[in-house]
Amino acid sequence: MNIENSLSDKSVFGQALFEKMKSITAVIDKMEFYEFEYSLNNIVPDSGTWLEVCLDPREAIQERISSPEFFENIQIKPKIDGRIVLDETIQHLTRMLFVGLVTGQYPVQWVKDYFYFDPRGFNFYVRSNYMTNEIKPHLGGKPYRAYEPKQTAFDSFHEVGYQDFKNANAEVDAAFIEIILDLVKVKGTPILLAIAGPTAAGKTEIVERLRVAFEKLNCKISAIELDNFLLDRDYREEHNIGSFGKKALHFDLLQGCIQAILAGQEIVTPRYDFINATSSHDLQGKLKPEGQPVAVHPSDIIFIEGNSPFLMPEIAAYVGIKVIYLTDDAVRLKRKWRRDIDYRKKYDPYYLRNRFFREQPSMAWKNYQPQLKVCDIFVDTTGAALWVTPEVKNLLPTG
């Protein structure tokens, strides 16, 4: 292939990239070239030629994406003519990867090792690392149980809906529920069960299935949604707080609610409006005039779900079973396209892309790796594997 010709001729470049991208993700095989070209036209350099894209060495890129500062500099709401656009860094990275693939300077396997491609946004994201060699010994060194990873089928999907997600996770979810029921028999009630997981990992759905399982045993169930304690999103973004940790929450209210419900008292929690990204309570923890809080009754099983329920030592001390429920970023992003853009119409699509790119690798480092080091159970739905600590394994009937 004449490299200069492939970069200067949009059609030649598109055809070459189309073939390369089939090795990156199976979804490209589901597209006709003209569909691929429609999407590619949205990210072509302003000059109309790919010749202007200069490639950085692979080592430099790897170093850059290993730095928290790289992600902190991503702009969530950059605007042109009053409209949110894709952050320039994300756009430039995607252009480099496209050119590197076409010219052969970036091998396909290297790209797949460090990045994943979102066909709907038509840009690359940095692949997050959750399970490390340091964490594995804490969880027994290998999965306690493993199943066929059926989420691999999602590689050919543009977005993922609830039914497909539920069916793909059926085996690992059923085994997880069985383990939880066994542990509660040993530990007794009332018990606080914390399920931590990133957005669109399936926390809400698995809590509902656990609820049904416990109700069949005549257990009383309640839930505390950590997200309901979030401060207004505008305030968090203005102060660069993020969406987890004490500073992002009505923390005093959270701690008081947990203490009260474990003591057998009914509690009233804030309510977070995901459409408007606002809390029912003000910054001082007082109910706003239009606020509608959530009443939670005392129960045998109290679920607490969210991003970081046991990252905070003050909360972890009350938790009887600590669970990380995780789905890989690429699948979660496809879920968010269907759920948050198509159904909820929650975000501007460019806002979703910028925010997801910026937050996920940092969340893996700062939030989930630390919680994996102290959790009792890790549910890897993408890998279809259940990990448990040796202590938990010894409490289980098969341990």
- On the CB side of 275, CA atoms within 13 Å amount to 3
269 lies in a domain? no
Residues 91 and 189 in one domain: no
91 HSE (CA, 13 A, CB side):
14
Could you tell me if residue 246 is inside a domain?
no
Q: Up-side HSE of residue 376: CA atoms within 13 Å toward CB?
A: 22
Q: Quick one: 212 and 337 in the same domain?
A: yes
> Which secondary-structure segment (H or E) carries 278?
strand 278-279
Q: What percent of the chain has a predicted confidence (pLDDT) above 70? A: 98
Tell whether 191 and 85 lie within a shared domain: no
Q: Clarify whether residues 323 and 352 are in a common domain.
A: yes
Whether 80 and 141 share a structural domain: no
C-alpha to C-alpha distances, 345 to 77, 103, 276, 339, nearest whole angstrom? 17, 39, 11, 8
As a whole number of Å, the CA-based R_g of the chain is: 23
pTM for the structure as a whole: 0.89
Is residue 191 in some structural domain? Answer: yes
What the block records as the tokens of 322 is 């600590």
In a domain, 278, yes or no: no
Q: Assign 269 a pLDDT band (cuts: 50, 70, 90).
A: very high
- Tell me which of 126, 144, 159 is where a domain ends: 126
Where is 19: in which H helix or E strand?
helix 10-21
Spatial CA neighbour of 369 closest among 357, 378, 382:
378
- Decide if pLDDT at 11 tops 60: yes
Q: Are residues 305 and 351 in the same domain?
A: yes
State the DSSP string of 301-331.
EEEEEES-TTTSHHHHTT-SEEEEEE--HHH
What average pLDDT does the chain have?
94
Domain identity same for 117 and 193: no
- Give the alpha-carbon dihedral of 169, 170, 174, 175, to 10 degrees: -50
Asked whether residue 78 is domain-assigned, the answer is yes
Q: Are 173 and 385 in contact (CB under 8 A)?
A: no
Q: Is the pLDDT of residue 69 over 60?
A: yes
**175 lies in a domain?**
yes
Q: Which of 126, 157, 183 is the last residue of a domain?
A: 126
Q: How many domains is the chain built from?
A: 2
| pLDDT confidence of residue 39 | 96
Q: Which two tokens stand for residue 156?
A: 């050919």
Residue 388 domain-assigned?
yes
- What pLDDT does 370 receive? 95
Same domain, 106 and 15: yes
Output 309 or 287, whichever has higher pLDDT.
287
- 336 shares a domain with 207: yes
In the predicted structure, residue 399 carries a pLDDT above the cut 60: no
Q: Are 90 and 357 contacting, i.e. CB atoms less than 8 angstroms apart?
A: yes
* Together in a domain, 119 and 210: no
Residue 125 confidence (pLDDT): 98
Q: How far apart are CA 355 and CA 105, in angstroms?
A: 29
Q: How many CB atoms within 10 Å of residue 226?
A: 24
Q: What CA–CA distance (Å, rounded) separates 261 from 192?
A: 10
| 264 part of a folded domain | no
Last residue of a domain, which of 126, 156, 180?
126
**Better-predicted residue by pLDDT, 309 or 374:** 374
Q: Could you count the other beta carbons within 10 Å of the beta carbon of residue 129?
A: 12
Tell the residue number behind the tokens 């940790």, with chain if given: 245
pLDDT of 218 above 70:
yes
Instruction: Quick: pLDDT tens for 179-203.
Output: 999 999 999 999 999 999 999 999 9
95 and 187 inside one domain:
no
- Identify whether the C-beta of residue 25 lies closer than 8 Å to the C-beta of residue 333: no
In percent, the amount of the chain with pLDDT more than 90 equals 86
Residues 344 and 211 in one domain: yes
- Per-residue pLDDT for 241 more than 90? no
**DSSP H or E segment with residue 166:** helix 162-168
Tens-digit pLDDT profile for residues 23-44: 999 999 999 999 999 999 999 9
* Residue range of the domain that includes 94: 3-126
Residue 144 pLDDT > 90: yes
